[in-house]
């Protein structure tokens, strides 16, 4: 390669949750390893910032301040409030230290990026779930000029249907992509059935690296627990997960540690301010993990930590990515219903199957960038 092609990555770069940051880091490092000069486009979508970033801030610079609402959050759940602030700061530190990212870019400034980058990649995460961005067509790379390349990597629609306006946006912009890849089979079906376009189902960027790669970060965690424990990581309320985890903990004399979402309370030891390194370390060193989170499932698999997962009842559209991954790896028997299976996981099959799919996904990405 005579000179490094410059690549701009568009994703949800300021969603301060573990999965969002780790998928971004995974994709950036995978592309860097291929010899490209990549940086994340620090796009300022105000709707997204309001929902994901400003929700626990008394001072906001963009005029969206709602101090009374924020104060109510503090009074009702001070542990979660301060934990969220601490987590956000730690994730911002991780991004600053590990991920090349541009200065803030507004909607009006986006066309200028065509002079800076040769290729634009959008993905992964639910970048094509328009309800998360207030139907912002930026995430379809509408600002990219015809002389530059558009690629999606593991883009997710995040649901099993599209609305009329989403249909219009996808019909207008996807035809201009050189290569399209998605994270779920359902997204592939939607794109083919509605627009006649071919796409590839590829791995989430976190799975482009093996457990040894992620251990480098996990081993930097300062939170090493002495007593064997079960880790619970939930992003929505549980039907049977907590009850069964408590039964297993009692039977095997294990402690329970939780990383919970905003509206979930726990009587167990809860780490709301877990850094990226803490998150990875807690999963790696657990005796078992009980999760409703896709990335909680992913890293349990990467670290070969025995896991159980529960599918969402209230928001079933989020289930497809968990189902697809577990079906591919032959571990659907780890699903939590009203009971759990005690059959051991065949890690040799899981690891070899995942490695083969990893090679396929990396090959697809490499060819998409080269062509």
- Mean pLDDT for 167-191 is 96
Is the same domain home to 202 and 242?
no
Strand partners, 119: 7, 149
Give the pLDDT confidence score for residue 158 in this predicted structure.
Answer: 84
> Greater confidence, 248 or 14?
248
Task: State the Cα angle at 283 between 29 and 247, rounded to 5°.
Answer: 155
Do 222 and 235 lie in one domain? The reply is: yes
pLDDT of 65 strictly over 50? no
Q: Are residues 14 and 117 in the same domain?
A: yes
83: confidence class by pLDDT, cuts 50, 70, 90: low
pLDDT > 60? residue 294: yes
- Does the residue 350 lie in any domain? no
Confidence of residue 316 (pLDDT cuts 50, 70, 90): low
Cα–Cα distance for residue pair 202/224, rounded to 1 Å: 34
Q: Concatenate the DSSP letters of all residues of 96-160 into one string.
A: HHH--EEEEE-GGGGGGGGGT-SEEEE-STTTT-GGGTTS-GGGGTTT--TTSEEEEEEE---SS
Averaged pLDDT, 151-179 = 94
Mean pLDDT computed over every residue of the chain:
89
pLDDT grade for 66, boundaries at 50, 70 and 90: very low
How many whole angstroms separate alpha carbon 308 and alpha carbon 292? 9
- Domain CATH number, residue 30: 3.40.50
Does residue 347 lie in a domain region? no
Residue 61 lies in a domain: yes
Sign of dihedral through CA atoms 13, 16, 20, 26?
positive
> How would residue 58 be classed by pLDDT, with cut points 50, 70 and 90?
very low
78-98 and 67-76 helices, crossing angle to 10°: 110
Encode pLDDT of 1-30 as tens digits. 456 789 999 999 988 889 999 999 999 999
Lowest mean pLDDT segment, chosen from 174-183, 297-306, 312-321? 312-321
Q: What is the pLDDT of residue 150?
A: 98
The pLDDT value recorded for residue 262 is 52
Do 50 and 163 reside in the same domain of the chain? yes
Kindly state the average pLDDT of the residues 62-70: 45
Which residue range is the domain that position 256 belongs to? 211-340
**Do 227 and 179 share a domain, yes or no?**
no
For residue range 326-356, list pLDDT tens digits in order: 999 999 999 999 999 999 999 999 999 999 9
Are the C-beta atoms of 120 and 60 separated by less than 8 Å?
no
* Burial annotation 50-77 (CB, 10 A radius, 16+ → b, else e): eebbbbbbeebeeeeeeeeebeeeeeeb
Are 226 and 280 part of one and the same domain?
yes
Count how many domains the chain has: 2
168 and 271 fall within a common domain: no
CA–CA distance from 304 to each of 83, 214, 226, 310, 349 (Å)?
Answer: 28, 12, 20, 18, 12
Q: What is the mean pLDDT of residues 117-140?
A: 94
Whether residue 217 is predicted with pLDDT greater than 60 in this model: the reply is yes
Mean per-residue pLDDT for 37-50? 90
**Which is more confident, 119 or 92?**
119
Kindly tell me if the per-residue pLDDT of 122 is higher than 80.
yes
Strand partners, 335: 309
pLDDT at 53: 62
Do residues 62 and 31 share a domain? yes
235 with 281, same domain?
A: yes
pLDDT for position 54: 58
Mean pLDDT, rounded, for 80-95: 74
Kindly state whether residues 122 and 256 are assigned to the same domain.
Answer: no
H helices present in the chain, as ranges? 18-33, 46-52, 67-76, 78-98, 164-173, 185-195, 211-218, 241-252, 276-284, 294-302, 320-329, 347-370
**Residue 12 included in any domain:** yes
Q: What are phi and psi of 40, to 5 degrees?
A: -85, 135
Higher pLDDT among residues 90 and 71, named by residue? 90
């Amino acid at each position: 390669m005579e000179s490094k092609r410059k690549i701009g990555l568009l994703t949800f770069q300021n969603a301060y949750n573990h999965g969002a940051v780790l998928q971004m880091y995974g994709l950036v490092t995978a592309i860097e390893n291929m010899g490209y000069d990549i940086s994340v486009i620090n796009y300022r979508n105000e709707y997204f910032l309001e929902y994901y970033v400003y929700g626990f801030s008394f001072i906001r610079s963009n005029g969206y301040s709602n101090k009374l609402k924020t104060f109510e959050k503090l009074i009702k759940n001070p542990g979660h409030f301060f934990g969220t602030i601490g987590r956000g700061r730690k994730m911002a530190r991780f991004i600053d230290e590990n991920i090349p990212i541009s200065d803030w870019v507004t909607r009006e400034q986006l066309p200028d990026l065509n002079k800076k980058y040769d290729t634009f990649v959008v993905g992964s995460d639910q970048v094509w779930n328009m309800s998360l961005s207030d139907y912002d067509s930026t995430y379809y790379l509408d600002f990219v000029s015809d002389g530059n390349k558009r690629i999606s990597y593991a883009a997710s629609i995040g649901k099993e249907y599209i609305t009329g306006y989403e249909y219009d946006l996808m019909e207008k912009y996807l035809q201009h992509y050189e290569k399209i890849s998605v994270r779920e089979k359902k997204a592939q079906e939607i794109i083919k059935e509605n627009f006649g376009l071919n796409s590839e189902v590829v791995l989430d960027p976190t799975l482009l690296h093996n457990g040894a790669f992620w251990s480098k970060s996990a081993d930097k965690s300062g939170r090493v627990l002495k007593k064997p424990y079960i880790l619970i990581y939930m992003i929505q309320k549980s039907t049977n997960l907590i009850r069964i985890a408590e039964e297993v903990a009692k039977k095997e004399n294990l402690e329970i540690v939780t990383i919970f979402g905003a509206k979930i309370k726990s009587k167990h030891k809860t780490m709301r301010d877990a850094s990226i390194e803490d998150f990875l370390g807690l999963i790696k060193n657990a005796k078992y993990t009980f999760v409703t989170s896709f990335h909680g499932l992913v890293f349990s698999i990467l670290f070969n930590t025995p896991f159980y997962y529960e599918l969402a009842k209230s928001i079933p559209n989020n289930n497809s990515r968990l189902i697809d991954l577990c079906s591919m790896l032959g571990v659907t028997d780890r699903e939590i219903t009203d009971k759990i299976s005690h059959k051991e996981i065949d890690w040799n099959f899981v690891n070899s199957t995942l490695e083969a799919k990893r090679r396929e996904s990396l090959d697809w990405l490499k060819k998409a960038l080269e062509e």
